[in-house]
């Protein structure tokens, strides 16, 4: 989840300005903000009809054009002709108070450029008039060179005339849309046409969900909402959760909520998403906001988001290594909630003056320990030019147990030769075997490893280089294991004292489908399913952060594995499972019965975009039942009960190659990711690799798909599609017409 930073805003208001704002509010003047801008003092006031009125105070200027001039200052109302009588009364009272306070006003705002730029907000009425709004915006744009925010009601019809006229300000203008607190999904659907039109003209849209105790009851809707917004081209639409300062919130059951309670009640999927940001007016302490911490530690930048009324810290913060770089909490927040939720960051050398002084391993401890929602790459912490040039890190991170009794660091289809596991060997024995040491030495040589086939998509895409190594937050043992892993990579250690980050295991060869391209349905059997003891023996590795990738066959066809899943669901352990499944066992009743769904990723092998092609390729469970299972899973994600990722997978065959583009459409409609795989062998004559025409058709569709996924920000899956297109292009160029 990203921070709600707004370009050009200060980390907090100047203290005396915030004190003045509070004084004026206590007098009944609805002052929203006080700030300095280019030699002027600006007061924003909430009007009775929802608009934002502005009073400008400048050093006395006798050239005219002002509403009131005193011995020292000139006062000017913005849009005076549109001010209602009640609002004019409030503005007049404000001016009288300020005139009385003139002798005591500080003058640190008078210097040109002494304060940062700020946005100008227009709160539109329900009867939104695009022409009036356009005139006001252009008038404001002519006076200042700062970001402009237009707040529009969700029912507004932003017509092409208005959007086209505003497109000249697209570098400065943001359209802010408040979402209904109780029904965010329907609000997003209602705005669909307007948002599509706005992004066509290059205008940014910010959908704002105000956080209160009551609105958090519907926080599950935010996942669905974010998925809808993620489909917008060019990342022009953002979803912002607005966390108010206690002073500005309503008392009672819908009153303020603490930051720690907010993070606890937000679904994990919402907390982890990078396309959802929080704009907190109560402060952004590093220990409570993961992305404020990440911004500092990874990018070396300080949070500069919503204005906060003075930074406050608790007694425990005195020993925090990062206190001098922490935004703290606001004074009203500290009064309301205290400091008990603030926890200090420790460092062996005490307080850190600059983040650059911290070592890479200290940074990882701060970022990852006890923070399961954080995920980053090693390249975020150590510059790529300081990392070893390894083509692949899997020999240090991954152990795969294949269904034919072989093993290795990756898929057996892309290894040269088959390495059979010795009888009676344990996963630990295999991980420490000479075969793994040999492949690590090959990776360190700097040339293409002899153990790996030339068409390995992981090597071709560069998906598993040190810079792209994924590191995840978790308990101290798991973080320490990852730090040891990084040291092993930096040192070129081929016998590291670490456990693998991932165990990829074939649960059983049995499958209840008989897919055109796979023989598991024909030859698989449950007789080879992993016994319960196998999963029990993984406990030490699980404690050190092991994640399990389960495949088959159909892994959920194994009763033993399903019981293991149910045990994980009943525990407090974070999601550590990823699974490749045909989806037939993801039944609504079974999913609903799990205490929580312990899958980090669910990859569903659909292989088709239409019911007809699905049933022709997968040959098993009817499409109608699979669609019902998918809808149940998507609903659980929408309510926040499932916080993992969903991927629809297609093995490209002669029978389904014509649906590659439609398959992407299906994934986008469902708000999931999409991957494509090239077929191995030529079962049922379905391999596209034996036909120049079919390979060419698939290559073209994959290249178009990659461009489309790039535009949607789905970089990983765009790279996946582009790599498969490269493999097909290479075969077409070399004239290779044979199965993989």
* Span 127-131, average pLDDT: 69
Contact indicator for 563, 587 with CB cutoff of 8 Å: no
Contacts of 424 (CB under 8 A, 6+ apart): none
- HSE-up (13 A, CA, CB side) for residue 668: 20
pLDDT band at 145 (very low <50, low <70, confident <90, very high): low
Q: What is the pLDDT of residues 217-266, one digit of tens each?
A: 777 677 767 766 665 555 567 788 888 878 755 555 567 789 999 888 88
Residue found under tokens 């939720």: 341
**DSSP letter string, 323-341:** GGG---B-HHHHHHH-STT
If you average pLDDT over each of 114-118, 180-184, 243-247, 419-423, which comes out highest?
Answer: 419-423
Contact indicator for 210, 229 with CB cutoff of 8 Å: no
Contacts of 312 (CB under 8 A, 6+ apart): 283, 328, 329, 330, 331, 333, 334, 339
Largest CA distance in the chain: 96
The whole-number pLDDT of residue 367 equals 96
* Span 29-58, average pLDDT: 79
**DSSP letter string, 674-736:** EEEEPPPS-GGG-BGGG-HHHHHHHHHHHHHHHHHHHHTT-HHHHHHHHHHHHHHHHHHHHT-
656 vs 63, which has greater pLDDT?
656
The whole-number pLDDT of residue 307 equals 55
- Lowest-pLDDT range of 26-30, 275-279, 317-321, 486-490: 275-279
The whole-number pLDDT of residue 322 equals 92
Task: Tell me, letter by letter, the H, E, C secondary structure of 605-662.
Answer: ECCCCCHHHHHHHHCCCCHHHHHHHHHHHHHHHHCCCCCCEEEEEEECECCCHHHHHH
520 vs 128, which has greater pLDDT?
520
Task: Tell me, letter by letter, the H, E, C secondary structure of 230-291.
Answer: HCCHHHCEEEEEEECCHHHCCCCCCCCCCHHHHHHHCCHHHHHCCCEEEEECCECCCCCCHH
* Span 108-116, average pLDDT: 50
- HSE-up (13 A, CA, CB side) for residue 154: 17
Helix axes 692-711 and 660-670, enclosed angle (nearest 10) = 30
Q: Tokens for 223?
A: 């996942």
354 vs 703, which has greater pLDDT?
703
Q: Tokens for 433?
A: 């075997």
- HSE-up (13 A, CA, CB side) for residue 540: 5
The whole-number pLDDT of residue 274 equals 63
DSSP state for residue 316 in the 8-state scheme: G
The whole-number pLDDT of residue 691 equals 96
User: H-helix or E-strand containing 565?
Assistant: helix 559-570
Can you name the residues that pair with 676 across neighbouring β-strands?
A: 650
- Lowest-pLDDT range of 199-208, 551-560, 616-625, 694-703: 199-208
The whole-number pLDDT of residue 377 equals 95
* pLDDT at residue 81 is higher than 50: yes
The whole-number pLDDT of residue 66 equals 64
* Dihedral sign of CA atoms 290, 478, 552, 469 in order: positive
Contacts of 209 (CB under 8 A, 6+ apart): 179, 181, 184, 215, 222, 225, 239, 240, 241, 242
**Overall pTM surpassing 0.85 (yes/no):** no
If you average pLDDT over each of 83-92, 179-188, 224-233, 300-309, which comes out highest?
Answer: 83-92
Residue 42: alpha-carbon gap to chain centroid: 35
Number of other CB atoms surrounding residue 248 within 10 Å: 13
* pLDDT at residue 656 is higher than 90: yes
The whole-number pLDDT of residue 483 equals 98
Contacts of 589 (CB under 8 A, 6+ apart): none
Contacts for 437-445 with beta carbons within 8 Å, 24 or more apart? 437/494, 437/495, 439/395, 439/408, 439/409, 440/395, 440/396, 440/494, 441/494, 443/390, 443/391, 443/392, 443/393, 443/395, 444/388, 444/390, 444/492, 444/494
Q: What is the pLDDT of residues 532-554, one digit of tens each?
A: 999 999 999 999 999 999 999 99
CA separation for the pair 208, 187 (Å, rounded): 11
Residue found under tokens 């295991």: 505
* Span 77-99, average pLDDT: 81
Contacts of 652 (CB under 8 A, 6+ apart): 660, 676, 677, 678, 679, 688, 698, 724
Angle (CA) 43 49 53, round 5°: 20
* pLDDT at residue 82 is higher than 70: no
CA separation for the pair 19, 580 (Å, rounded): 58
List the alpha helices (DSSP H) in 144-183: 160-166
Q: What is the pLDDT of residues 426-471, one digit of tens each?
A: 999 999 999 999 999 999 987 888 888 888 888 888 889 999 999 9
The whole-number pLDDT of residue 230 equals 62
DSSP state for residue 357 in the 8-state scheme: G
* Span 513-527, average pLDDT: 95
The whole-number pLDDT of residue 122 equals 56
* Span 98-106, average pLDDT: 87
577 vs 280, which has greater pLDDT?
577
Q: Tokens for 570?
A: 């009943």
* Dihedral sign of CA atoms 290, 277, 233, 604 in order: positive
In this structure, the strands spanning 470-472 and 375-377 are antiparallel
User: H-helix or E-strand containing 305?
Assistant: none
Nearest 5°: phi and psi at 208? -110, 125
The whole-number pLDDT of residue 606 equals 98
CA separation for the pair 627, 676 (Å, rounded): 20
624 vs 185, which has greater pLDDT?
624
pLDDT band at 596 (very low <50, low <70, confident <90, very high): confident
3-class secondary-structure state, position 55: strand
- Lowest-pLDDT range of 88-92, 470-474, 588-592: 88-92
* pLDDT at residue 42 is higher than 50: yes
Task: Tell me, letter by letter, the H, E, C secondary structure of 452-494.
Answer: ECCCCHHHHHCCCCHHHCEEECECHHHHHHHHHHHHHHHHCCC
Q: What is the pLDDT of residues 387-400, one digit of tens each?
A: 999 999 999 999 99
* Span 66-88, average pLDDT: 78
pLDDT band at 6 (very low <50, low <70, confident <90, very high): very low
Q: Quote the percentage of the chain above a pLDDT of 70.
A: 85
Residue 501: alpha-carbon gap to chain centroid: 22
């Amino acid at each position: 989840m990203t921070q709600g930073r707004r370009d050009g805003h200060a980390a907090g208001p100047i203290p005396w300005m915030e004190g003045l704002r509070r004084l004026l509010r206590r007098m009944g003047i609805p002052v929203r903000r006080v700030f300095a801008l280019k030699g002027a003092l600006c007061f924003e006031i909430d009007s009775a009809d929802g608009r934002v009125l502005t009073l400008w105070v400048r050093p006395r200027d006798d050239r005219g054009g002002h509403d009131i001039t005193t011995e020292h200052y000139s006062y000017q109302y913005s849009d005076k002709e549109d001010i209602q009588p009640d609002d004019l009364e409030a503005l007049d009272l404000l001016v009288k108070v300020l005139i009385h306070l003139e002798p005591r006003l500080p003058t640190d705002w008078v210097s040109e450029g002494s304060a940062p730029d700020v946005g100008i907000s227009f709160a539109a009425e329900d009867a939104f008039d695009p022409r009036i709004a356009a005139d006001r915006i252009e008038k404001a744009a002519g006076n200042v060179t700062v970001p402009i925010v237009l707040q529009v009601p969700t029912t507004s019809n932003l017509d092409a005339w208005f959007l086209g006229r505003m497109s000249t300000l697209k570098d400065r203008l943001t359209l802010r849309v408040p979402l209904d607190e109780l029904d965010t999904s329907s609000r997003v659907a209602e705005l669909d046409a307007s948002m599509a039109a706005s992004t066509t003209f290059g205008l940014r849209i910010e959908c704002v969900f105000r956080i209160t105790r009551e609105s958090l009851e519907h926080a599950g809707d935010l996942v669905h909402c974010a998925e809808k917004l993620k489909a917008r081209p060019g990342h022009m639409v953002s979803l912002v959760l607005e966390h108010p300062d206690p002073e500005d919130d309503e008392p009672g059951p819908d009153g303020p909520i603490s930051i720690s309670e907010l993070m606890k009640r937000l679904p994990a999927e919402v907390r982890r998403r990078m396309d959802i940001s929080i704009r907190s007016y109560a402060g952004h302490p590093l220990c409570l906001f993961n992305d404020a911490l990440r911004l500092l530690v990874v990018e070396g930048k300080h949070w500069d988001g919503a204005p906060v009324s003075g930074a406050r810290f608790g007694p425990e913060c005195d020993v925090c290594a990062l206190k001098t770089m922490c935004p703290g909490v606001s004074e009203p927040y500290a009064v309301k909630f205290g400091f008990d939720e603030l926890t200090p960051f420790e460092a062996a050398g005490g307080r850190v003056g600059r983040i650059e002084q911290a070592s890479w391993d200290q940074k990882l401890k701060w970022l990852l320990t006890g923070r399961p929602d954080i995920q980053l790459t090693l390249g975020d912490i150590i510059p790529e030019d300081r990392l070893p040039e390894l083509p692949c890190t899997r020999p240090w991170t991954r152990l795969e147990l294949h269904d034919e009794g072989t093993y290795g660091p990756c898929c057996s289809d892309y290894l040269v030769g088959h390495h059979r596991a010795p009888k009676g060997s344990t996963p630990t024995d295999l991980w420490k075997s000479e075969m793994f040491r040999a492949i690590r030495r090959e990776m360190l040589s700097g040339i293409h490893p002899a153990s790996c086939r030339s068409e390995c998509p992981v090597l071709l895409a560069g998906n598993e280089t040190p810079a792209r190594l994924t590191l995840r937050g978790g308990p101290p043992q798991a973080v320490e294991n990852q730090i040891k892993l990084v040291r092993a990579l930096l040192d070129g250690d081929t016998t590291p004292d670490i456990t693998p980050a991932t165990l990829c295991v074939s649960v059983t060869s049995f499958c209840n489908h008989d897919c055109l391209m796979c023989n598991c349905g024909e030859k698989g059997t449950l007789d080879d399913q992993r016994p319960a003891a196998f999963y029990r023996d993984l406990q030490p590795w699980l404690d050190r952060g092991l994640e399990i990738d389960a495949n088959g066959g159909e892994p959920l066809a194994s009763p033993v594995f399903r019981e293991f899943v149910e045990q994980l669901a009943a525990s407090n352990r974070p999601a550590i499972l990823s699974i490749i499944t045909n989806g037939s066992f993801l039944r609504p009743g079974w999913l609903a019965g799990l205490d929580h769904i312990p899958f980090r990723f669910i990859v569903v092998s659909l292989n088709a975009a239409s019911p007809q092609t699905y049933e022709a390729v997968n040959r098993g469970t009817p499409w109608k039942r699979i669609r019902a299972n998918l809808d149940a899973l998507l609903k659980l994600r929408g309510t926040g009960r499932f916080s993992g990722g969903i991927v629809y997978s297609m093995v490209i065959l002669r029978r389904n190659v014509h649906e590659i583009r439609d398959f992407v459409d299906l994934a986008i409609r469902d708000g999931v990711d999409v991957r494509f795989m090239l077929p191995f062998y030529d079962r049922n004559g379905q391999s596209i690799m034996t036909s120049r025409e079919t390979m060419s058709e698939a290559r073209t569709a994959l290249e178009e798909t990659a461009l489309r996924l790039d535009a949607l920000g789905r970089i990983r899956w765009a790279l996946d599609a582009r790599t498969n297109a490269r493999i097909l292009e290479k075969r077409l160029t070399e004239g290779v017409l044979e199965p993989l």
